[in-house]
Amino acid sequence: SDKQRKDVRVWCDGCYDMVHFGHANSLRQAKALGDKVIVGIHTDEEITKHKGPPVFTEEERVKMVKGIKWVDEVVLGAPYVTTLDVLDQNNCDFCVHGDDITMTAEGVDTYHLVKSANRYKEVKRTAGVSTTDLVGRMLLLTRNHFRQGSAEYDIEKEAKSPWTGCSQFLPTTQKIIQFSDGKSPNPGDKIVYVAGAFDLFHVGHLDFLEKAKKLGDYLIVGLHTDPVVNSYKGSNYPIMNLHERVLSVLACKFVNEVVIGAPYCVTEELLEHFKIDVVCHGRTPIALENGKIDPYAVPKTRAIFELIDSGNEMTTERIVERIISHRLEY
């Protein structure tokens, strides 16, 4: 019977450095091929050996992957070349990877063992998003710096930002449906609302959303539009455009619903429309609209506003700084 049928356990592995919605989309497709998704993550040491040090530590990379809603288990220390032993040790039936070839430092296909044992399946790589592309967009912020220093990197060609050109990713309603859980709140659910940029979705956002979700039963995230984010972050921010930020946030297991282009000020109408019980914000500064109006004035007056301490110091700007120093070193 169905009840006795053993779960099909799917193994995925990789670096998962700078996790983006392309990674999430591969795990979503892996989940559809079985019942449970087990993700093996390479240690910092293993990655350094094969392609140079990662930008994010193994603790950060593990946390980001655990935050993705299609992931059931995470295992740190997966070998760079996937072995049949590692599949067996984790009771996995087969391994899933995107349709790009990955090689070891010696030029060996990292999946040759599982391929010849017929325990390998491929999913479609998400076009238009990659770590290289995101790094290029971030380096655009330091164009002058790079012109003066090591000039070999062609930033103009590589970088894409909503403010300088278009991202190569083509958002569709189909993709949003695939990422969405499609559930409305249940009657009586306590509804939590947060809003922000959520640019380059990171561990700080994840810790914040986990705490926000604990304040209620159903979490709605409002995403500000690109011009609004740019008006308070300046420079070339946001690095990821609204459509990309929607998918990154939807992939997070704590999030139930996303408002695509939320108003900067949390209004009476918004609170009524979504029947919001509590509104929260982290410890990062709250920019005033036109330098005057507190965007949380209405929920504060209603006494439904709460400050949350994510306990995490990560910010989008810190990631950009890390990328820049990383690029200068290697």
What are the residues binding ligand CTP (CB under 6 A)? 14-16, 22-23, 25-26, 97-98, 100, 125-126, 129-131
**Backbone CA torsion sign across 76, 253, 294, 243:** positive
Cβ-based nearer residue to ligand C5P, 18 or 123: 18
* CA atoms of 216 and 194, how far apart (whole Å): 12
Smallest gap from Cβ 215 to ligand C5P, in A, equals 13
DSSP letter at 289? B
Smallest gap from Cβ 192 to ligand C5P, in A, equals 12
Question: Cα 38 to chain center, whole Å?
Answer: 18
Contact characters 207-246, ligand C5P, x per CB under 6 A: -x--------------------------------------
* CA atoms of 281 and 283, how far apart (whole Å): 7
- The option from ligand CTP, ligand C5P, none interacting with 97 (CB < 5 to 8 A, set by class) reads ligand CTP
Smallest gap from Cβ 260 to ligand CTP, in A, equals 22
Residues 47, 314, 319, 320: which binds ligand C5P (CB under 6 A)? 314
Q: Which residue is nearest to ligand CTP (CB)?
A: 98
Smallest gap from Cβ 291 to ligand CTP, in A, equals 38
CA distances 247 to 37, 171, 221, 252, 300, Å, are 19, 9, 12, 9, 30
* CA atoms of 44 and 35, how far apart (whole Å): 29
Note whether 181 and 253 are within 8 A (CB): no
Q: Return residues touching ligand C5P (CB under 6 A).
A: 194, 196-199, 204-205, 208, 281-284, 308, 310, 312-315
